[in-house]
Every structure is written in C-alpha cells, then in structure tokens.
Amino acid sequence: MGLYEVFYAGYIFLRLITLAIFVYCVLSWFRPNFRAFDILGNFIRPFVAPFQGLSMKLRQYFRAPVDFSYLFAILAYQLLGRLWWRLYYLLARRL
C-alpha cells in the first residue's frame, strides 16, 4: 500500500465521520425511535465528545439552548481533512 492510499483511506474516514454527524443531526430533528438512530449516535459520540466542553461554555455565556458541539465537530473534521491532504503533499514532495 502506497502513501497515497494510506492518506486517501484516512480522508475517506474523516468524510465518513463528517457525514455520519450530519445525518445524525438531520435525523434528530424528527426524533426517530428506531435502532439505527441509536447505533449512529453511539458511533459519532466519541468524535463529538471533545467539542462538548466548548459548546457548554458557549451555551452558558450566550444562554442559548442550542448544542453547537456537532457543528464544531463537523467544522473541525473538515479542517482536519484539508490539513491531512496538505501533509500528504508535503510528504510526497519530500519522498
């Protein structure tokens, strides 16, 4: 497996996480009561957890009833995907 394949697999994983968070957010508006929603929630919870502290501080500061942790997670994983490719290009030039 070459360098490109490793980085592409990492990028696909980041996109999968981002898509799963987005789908979970959209489905949460409808309050579904099916098992797949719970499984999706269990999958994304570890990826969203690092952003919940920041979201809680913003909720207290602005006294807003909205949880921004999912938005922060989507933005962070999008940014991480861009940085991921920049790292690939840097390494590809060096090798």
pLDDT in tens, 46-89: 999 999 999 999 888 988 888 899 999 999 999 999 999 999 99
Enumerate residues 6+ apart whose C-beta is below 8 A from 10.
Answer: 84
User: What angle in degrees, to the nearest 10, is found between the helix axes of 35-48 and 3-28?
Assistant: 120
Percent of residues, the chain, with pLDDT higher than 70: 100
Whole-model pTM: value is 0.88
Dihedral sign for Cα 8, 11, 15, 21, please. positive
Q: How far apart (Å, rounded) are the C-alpha atoms in residues 81 and 18?
A: 10
The stretches of 1-95 forming alpha helices (DSSP H) are: 3-28, 35-48, 52-62, 69-94
